[in-house]
Amino acid sequence: MTVDAPAPQATSPESRPFEADVAKLLHLMVHSVYSDKDVFLRELVSNAADACEKLRFEAISRPELLADDPKPRITLTADAANRRLSIEDNGVGMSGEEMVEALGTIARSGTKAFIERVEAAQGKEGAHLIGQFGVGFYSAFMVAERVEVVSRRAGADEPSIWSSDGQGTFTVATADPADAPARGTRVTLHLLEDAASYAEAWTLERAVKAQSGHVPAPVYLVEAPGVEPRALSDGAALWLKPKADISKEDYAEFYRGLGAFDEPAVTTHFRAEGRHEYVALAFTPSAAPYDLFDTERSGRMKLYVKRVFITDDAELLPRYLRFVRGLVDSSDLPLNVSREMIQESPVLAAIRKGVTNRVLGDLEKLADNDAESFAKVWEAFGAVVKEGIYEDFERRDQLLGLARFRTTASGEGFRTLKQYLADLKDNQTAIYYLAGAEPERLKASPHLEGFRARGVEVLLLSDAIDSFWTSSVQGFEGKPFKSVTQGAADLSLIAKPEAAEDASAAEATPAVTAFIDFAKATLGEKVSDVRASDRLTESPVCLVAPDHGPDRQLEKILAGSGRAGSAAKPVLEINPSHALVAALAARADVDAAFKEDAVGLLFDEARILDGERPDDAAGFSARLARVLQKALS
């Protein structure tokens, strides 16, 4: 005689708070982030497809998980009479604890940053925020007044139910086994009145075919409870189809299925054969995600082995290409590949090299064939690609050739280093650059005056990484990079245009030389030197870094991060032809205290022009008052 196992004891629903400022977050999302309500269906179908792929992976080592239901499927059931829609899969499923973890934590990468980003974008026409935050499941609350998730983990007996109205709390409880999938997850949406059309078959068919037609699991539609399902998509892997059979619209649809809402700027699709066999499908976006510079952001490339999803955590591209989305499907890696094997696999290293080379090659083709489109890509991702100039020695020259720069000669556009070198002045021996945090401040910097007077182009670098790669790169096509804020400018060998020749080319008079010596003695330990400048034509003074060590911007970055150590003292350069300097030098009759105050004010002015504050605000105020009083007396 057999004894039936006791039925699982139902537990009372337990109310838990979401781990986020949910009420505000969901309100913002519903009213600000998602402009197209259809997105909720795409997000839920994509989640269901991922669950099927995860089950296929787990079933490699545990085939019993598939039982008598080995083929993946996603089923949509429309119930227009009750204004309900359900999305069910026979994937890996979730336990109650997994539901709390997966559905109870919103915007894990930073809720505060998420909210601030959305609020900042409110009211901006064309703001493309969708797909940037990792909160796709919660888009269901755009159309639903309540969402219920019933799930049974593959290989487990007890199902669980998660429920929420999106107002700040959710409940988790044991579900009725008779009303739960045998394996997998069913998401039921109790639709809002103005979203009732999503319980209509024609609406669902249109949305699935438009946005989810290429998910790697077949999608079926039940037009009403009790009606036989019909197929909306076959679950065929787009990346395995011949390129000639795939339209631009097919690629765009698949790209959006990866969680993006912009149009791909570049599509890289190829099959590698020979020593290693794999297929790669990678998309370069046209718009940057909000967390592009998040230190914890990983790549968006998925790894498959013979169509079986393995992981989305494999380093298939270097970090400086972390904005690229897509997948690699390998025929060489073992299906039971573990994370440790992935990290150590020479096959994966070869794949990584091959995919990286193809993505960069396709970006070069875009730059050559459609400069305007590439400029938009560079505007969005150039700051990240330049990380590769610093990190990827093997491809450094290729990345320098790909890089685009704003310069003193580029206007609002970009220039390449090849264009820069083509316009070198006679006797110019370096590629000059000015690094800083604010583009407008760079354009107004006094350090550019001598270069501008001679028509020498200067790169204007405003990304934080610029100060690092410029200090590590030897040069480009034989010309070294040189900061205009470091060392002597060495401009005397570069002739000015005849129209620009003026008294500023004159050498310092004995009186000015004596004033410079006085300034050096007055400033003492505040500076490493005081000298006449050949880079200034309009401003009286500026600060530069010594010949050796970091330039001015890198010193500021290191100081701000607490890694400056014993930073070198700056050099004060004085324009010997400036009227103020000449007047001060000529006033040999004034008392020493006045001249000391004047030197102090010139040093403070140089700091202000360099984007800093006077190091002694009270002293600056007192000096200014004394000089003004002297001038008026």
Q: Is 47 annotated as a binding residue?
A: yes
What distance, in Å, lies between the first and last C-alpha atoms of the chain?
A: 117
Q: Do the domain assignments include residue 259? A: yes
d(CA 316, CA 322): 9
What is the total residue count of the chain?
A: 633
Same domain for 212 and 251, yes or no, is: no
Does the annotation list 168 as a binding residue?
Answer: no
User: What are the C-alpha distances in Å from 468 to residues 31, 59, 392, 489?
Assistant: 41, 47, 13, 21
Question: Is there a domain that residue 395 lies in?
Answer: no
Give CB contacts under 8 A, 24+ apart, made by 310-315: 310/57, 310/337, 310/342, 311/339, 311/342, 313/339, 314/342, 314/348, 315/352
- Residues 51 and 104 both lie in one domain: yes
Residues 537 and 414 in one domain: no
User: Quick one: 343 and 409 in the same domain?
Assistant: no
Any domain includes 205: yes
CB 171 within 8 A of CB 164: yes
In-domain check, residue 289: yes
378, part of any domain:
no
Give the number of C-alpha atoms closer than 13 A to the C-alpha of residue 233, restricted to the C-beta side: 30
Residue at 213: amino acid letter: G
Q: What is the pLDDT of residue 8?
A: 53
Q: Are residues 530 and 493 in the same domain?
A: no
Structural element, H or E, at residue 605 = helix 592-609
Is residue 390 assigned to a domain? no
336 within 8 A of 375, measured Cβ to Cβ: no
Strand arrangement, sheet containing 571-574: 529-532, 571-574, 541-544
Domain CATH code at residue 23? 3.30.565.10
To 5 degrees, how large is the angle CA 327–CA 142–CA 53? 25
Predicted confidence at residue 424, as pLDDT, reads 94
CATH code for the domain in which residue 509 is found = 1.20.120.790
End position of a domain, from candidates 444, 467, 499: 499
Find tokens 């093997």 and name the residue: 394
The CATH code of the domain that includes 450 is 3.40.50.11260
Q: What is the Cα–Cα distance from 332 to 381, expressed in whole angstroms?
A: 32
Domain identity same for 201 and 348 = no
Q: Is 137 within any annotated ligand binding site?
A: yes
Q: CA-CA distance, 72 to 321, in Å (whole number)? A: 32
Buried b (16+ CB within 10 A) or exposed e, 373-386: ebbebbebbbbbbb
Q: Are strands 219-222 and 160-164 parallel, antiparallel or unpaired?
A: unpaired
Token readout for 414 is 């970009």
Q: Which residue has the tokens 């079933």?
A: 59
| pLDDT for res 110 | 42
HSE toward the beta carbon, residue 387, CA cutoff 13 A: 13
- Do 606 and 459 belong to one domain? no
132 is in an annotated binding site: yes
Ordered mean pLDDT values, 10 residues apiece, the chain (633 residues): 52 67 62 68 88 90 92 96 97 92 63 51 42 63 94 95 88 95 97 95 89 85 93 89 92 86 93 92 91 76 82 88 93 69 80 96 97 95 95 96 94 93 94 90 92 94 92 92 88 75 62 93 93 92 87 79 66 93 84 90 92 88 90 80
What pLDDT shows up at residue 312?
79
Pairing of strands 571-574, 529-532: parallel
Whether 159 and 111 map to the same domain: the answer is yes
Q: Is 338 found in the same domain as 221?
A: no
Could you give phi then psi for residue 407, rounded to 5 degrees?
Answer: -135, 175
Rounded Cα distance between 492 and 505, Å, is 9
Domain boundary among 499, 528, 560: 499
515 and 422 in one domain? no
Buried b (16+ CB within 10 A) or exposed e, 9-33: eeeeeeeeebebbbeebbebbbebb
Q: Is 69 annotated as a binding residue?
A: no
Integer-rounded Cα Rg, in Å, for the chain is 32
Bridge partners for 245 per DSSP: none
Answer yes or no: is 382 within a domain.
Answer: no
Q: Which two tokens stand for residue 132?
A: 């940037």
**254 annotated as a binding-site residue:** no
- Among 275, 286, 269, 285, residue whose Cα is nearest residue 328: 269
- CA 379: distance to chain centroid? 11
pLDDT at 105: 67
Residue 7 included in any domain: no
CATH code at position 313? 3.30.230.80
Q: What is the pLDDT of residue 9?
A: 58
Which pLDDT does position 409 carry in this prediction? 92
- For residue 430, give its domain range: 404-499
**């400033």: which residue's tokens?**
523
Q: Which residues pair with 476 in a beta bridge?
A: 479
Same domain for 528 and 592, yes or no, is yes
- Count CA atoms within 13 Å of residue 604 on its CB side: 18
110 is in an annotated binding site: yes
363 and 248, same structural domain? yes
The verdict on whether residue 185 carries a ligand-binding annotation is yes
Domain count of the fold of the chain: 4
SS (H, E, C) 302-354: EEEECCEEEECCCCCCCHHHCCCEEEEEECCCCCCCCHHHHHHCHHHHHHHHH
Q: What share of the chain is helix, strand, coil (3-state, %, to 5)?
A: 40, 20, 40
Which of 326, 351, 369 is at the close of a domain? 369
Is residue 43 a known part of a binding site?
Answer: yes
pLDDT at 503: 43
Q: Is 339 annotated as a binding residue?
A: yes
CA neighbor of 21 nearest in space, from 128, 131, 110, 120 = 110
Q: Which of 103, 166, 104, 107 is nearest to 133 (CA)?
A: 107
DSSP of 386-428: HHHHHH-GGGHHHHHHH--BEETTSTTS-B-HHHHHHTPPTT-
Residue 385: C-alpha distances to residues 250, 389, 561, 627 (Å): 28, 7, 23, 50
Residues 558, 519, 630: CA angle, nearest 5 degrees: 115
DSSP bridge partners of 460: 406, 434
The predicted pLDDT at position 429 comes to: 92
Cα angle for residues 580, 585, 587 (degrees, 5° grid): 100
